[in-house]
Amino acid sequence: MVVSRDVIRLTPGGIETLNLTLQHQSHQLEGTHQVAVELEMNAIAFGEVAKTLGALKIGATLSVKGFLSQKNRYSNMPILHITQFKMLNES
């Protein structure tokens, strides 16, 4: 679920970029235990993905694919780079 979203900006190279915060809730199997998982994650998207995500409403739910990377050289906080997504509910 999209819980916050910045405005679309341009990189120095002129590519659209969007920062957003996603919230995830699920149950996952760990050994034989079902565990409740909650996570809030900073995410970033570029180009066409950024443009489409930039039109989403807060509260929209989506399924995303991509990869994790370090936010920057000064922080070991991971940020999710969204390279593909599927809308689940536009809220």
Nearer to a second copy, 52 or 90 (CB): 52
Q: Letter for the amino acid at 38? A: E
CB 15 to a second copy: min, Å? 8
Nearer to a second copy, 7 or 29 (CB): 29
CA dihedral 50, 54, 59, 62 (to 10 degrees): -30
Nearer to a second copy, 10 or 39 (CB): 39
Gap between the Cα atoms of 79 and 88, Å rounded: 22
How wide is the angle at C-alpha 32 spanned by C-alphas 28 and 37, nearest 5°?
20
List residues binding a second copy (CB under 8 A). Answer: 15, 26, 28-31, 33, 35, 37-41, 46-49, 67-70, 76-78, 81, 83
Contact indicator for 44, 81 with CB cutoff of 8 Å: yes
CB 57 to a second copy: min, Å? 23
CB 70 to a second copy: min, Å? 5
